[in-house]
Amino acid sequence: MKKTGNQKACVIGWPIKHSRSPLIHGFWLEKYGVSGSYEKIAVAPENLSQFLKDMSKNGFQGCNVTIPHKEKVFKEVFVNDVLTKRIGAVNTVFTEGGELLGLNTDGYGFISNLKSGVKSWNSAGKSAMIIGAGGAARAIIAILLEDGVERIDLVNRTPSRASALAKEFGDRVHAYGFDEMSSCLRKADLLINTTSLGMTGQPPLEISLESLSSLSVVTDIVYDPLETDLLKQAKSNGNPTVDGLGMLLHQAVPGFEKWFGIRPEVTEELRQLIVDDLMKDDEQ
Ligand code: ATR
């Protein structure tokens, strides 16, 4: 379904200044010779409904959606994808038959990144430990369950939030507070930080990986810095690690395909482009 002509897409958020999505999609537009465009548009919460209503009229094939609009867009567009329904948030909007459809590709981005980082990874029968119980955790729980993990331990600063989320996803998901971190680590084949702890400008994630097997895979959704303290500690213990940048790159793939008709590839060249941009920010 290769599309022709001047397709337009964008990313919306409030604020939107720091989004790297235009760099990613711009790279692919050029690489595949598509005469389209991808821009960032700041949309205030009070203007979101109108923006969606006018999207096709304004010539957009669709958009990416980022903070703080993902949950609201979920309520405003048609969602038929089961995983997206489970996540309850939309990060990719496209048009089909004159209708706006919503998808959540964060889970897809997570699992694609994990599998391209650790080629031998197979979720079946595995136990995962997730730190955090927010929107990112929700997308990752949904995809891991679909991919066949046997058990997920959700560890959160506010245990009640973890319990509420665990309850929604059924009996494979269990909730804990930070005080049970080390007993959960003992069981984990996969450890994922889904909080912003460890990100540049945020507090550190205070964790000791002493009780984690050195065979367990450790991954962080934080990608600034690329190598977080969590990943550094894991690497020095001999654990396989996967950084968070690949999730950002892979989650962009389905949107590009919907809007521009080509399924793009996540390559080392694309990754380097974003790494260079992250470094530019550090210098400022
Ligand atoms: P997102 O949608 O990006 O996941 P979110 O819904 O705000 O963001 O969730 C943020 C997660 O990071 C939550 O699990 C939050 O813990 P609480 O539920 O206890 O708030 C966690 N988090 C954020 N800042 C934290 C901090 N300083 N210490 C511990 N956990 C933190």
- Residue whose Cα lies nearest atom 2 of ligand 1: it is 135
Write out pLDDT tens, residues 50-70: 999 999 999 999 999 999 999
Record the tokens describing residue 42, joined without a space. 């700041």
Q: Going by C-beta distance under 8 Å and a sequence separation of 6 or more, which residues neighbour residue 273?
A: 23, 27
Considering the domain architecture, whether residues 97 and 172 belong to the same structural domain is answered as no
For atom 12 of ligand 1, the residue with the nearest CA is 195
29 alpha carbon – ligand 1 mean position (Å)? 35
Other Cβ atoms less than 10 A from the Cβ of 177: the count is: 14
Percent of the residues in the chain that have a pLDDT greater than 70, as a whole number: 98
Ligand 1 geometric centre to CA of 207 (Å): 15
| Residues 215 and 97 both lie in one domain | no
Whole-number Å distance between alpha carbons of 202 and 97 = 43
Q: Helices 21-31 and 268-283, interaxial angle, to 10°? A: 140
> What percent of the residues of the chain are helix, what percent strand, and what percent coil, each to the nearest 5?
40, 20, 40
Atom of ligand 1 nearest to the CA of 131: 14
* Same domain (yes/no): 214, 138: yes
Residues 50, 219: Cα–Cα separation, whole Å: 38
Strand order in the sheet with 127-131: 173-177, 151-156, 127-131, 190-193, 217-220, 241-242
Q: Which of 31, 53, 57, 70 is catalytic?
A: 70
CB 16 within 8 A of CB 42: yes
Which residue among 155, 157, 193 is best mutated to probe the pocket of ligand 1, counting the most ligand atoms within 8 A of its Cβ? 157
Give the atom of ligand 1 at the shortest distance from the alpha carbon of 162.
18
Strand partners, 39: 10
Can you tell me the mean pLDDT for 139-162? Answer: 98
Query: Tokens for 27?
Result: 């790279």
Give the separation between CA 196 and CA 222, rounded to whole angstroms. Answer: 6
Structure confidence by residue, pLDDT tens digits, 79-130: 999 999 999 999 999 999 989 999 999 999 999 999 999 999 999 999 999 9
Is position 85 annotated as part of the catalytic site?
no
Higher-pLDDT residue of 3 and 125 is 125
Residues within 6 Å of ligand 1 by CB: 132-137, 156-158, 161, 194-197, 203
For residue 150 the two structure tokens come to 């046997």
Q: Is residue 1 part of a domain?
A: no
281 pLDDT band (50/70/90 cuts)?
confident
Closest protein CA for atom 9 of ligand 1: 134
Instruction: Identify whether residues 216 and 129 lie together within a single domain.
Output: yes
Q: Does one domain contain both 234 and 140?
A: yes
Residue of 195, 222, 224 to mutate, ligand 1, most atoms within 8 A of C-beta: 195
The alpha carbon of 131 and the centre of ligand 1 are apart by a number of angstroms equal to 9
Give me ligand 1 centre to Cα 135, in Å: 9
**What's the rounded Cα separation, in Å, for the pair 116 and 122?**
12
Chain segment 223-277, per-residue pLDDT in tens: 999 999 999 999 999 999 999 999 999 999 999 999 999 999 999 999 999 999 9
Q: What local confidence, expressed as pLDDT, does residue 1 receive?
A: 43
Asked if residue 88 and residue 112 are part of one domain, the reply reads: no
Q: What is the DSSP letter of 180?
A: G
Closest C-alpha to ligand 1, atom 30? 157
Q: Given pLDDT bands bounded at 50, 70 and 90, which one contains residue 5?
A: low
Structural domain total, the chain? 2
> Do residues 114 and 240 both lie within one domain?
yes
Question: What are the start-end ranges of the H helices in the chain?
Answer: 21-31, 48-54, 70-76, 82-87, 106-117, 135-146, 159-169, 181-187, 229-236, 245-251, 253-260, 268-283
User: What's the confidence (pLDDT) of residue 195?
Assistant: 97
Closest residue by Cα to atom 8, ligand 1, is 134
Helix (H) or strand (E) holding 92: strand 92-96
The answer to whether residue 2 sits within a structural domain is: no
Domain ranges, residue 144: 108-244
Question: Per-residue confidence at 6, pLDDT binned at 50, 70, 90?
Answer: confident
Name which of 122, 80, 124 is nearest 104 in CA terms: 80
What pLDDT is attached to residue 4? 52
Distances (CA, A) of 75 to 9, 57, 101, 103, 138: 21, 21, 11, 12, 17
Quick one: pLDDT at residue 115?
A: 98
Instruction: Please check whether residues 50 and 72 belong to one and the same domain.
Output: yes
79: domain CATH number is 3.40.50.10860
Q: How far is the CA of 34 from the centre of ligand 1 (A)?
A: 39
> pLDDT digits over 104-114, tens only?
999 999 999 99
Tokens, residue 2: 């290769």
Query: Does 231 share its domain with 113?
Result: yes
CATH number, domain with residue 194: 3.40.50.720
Report CA(6)–ligand 1 centroid distance (Å).
40
Instruction: Answer whether residue 177 is part of any domain.
Output: yes
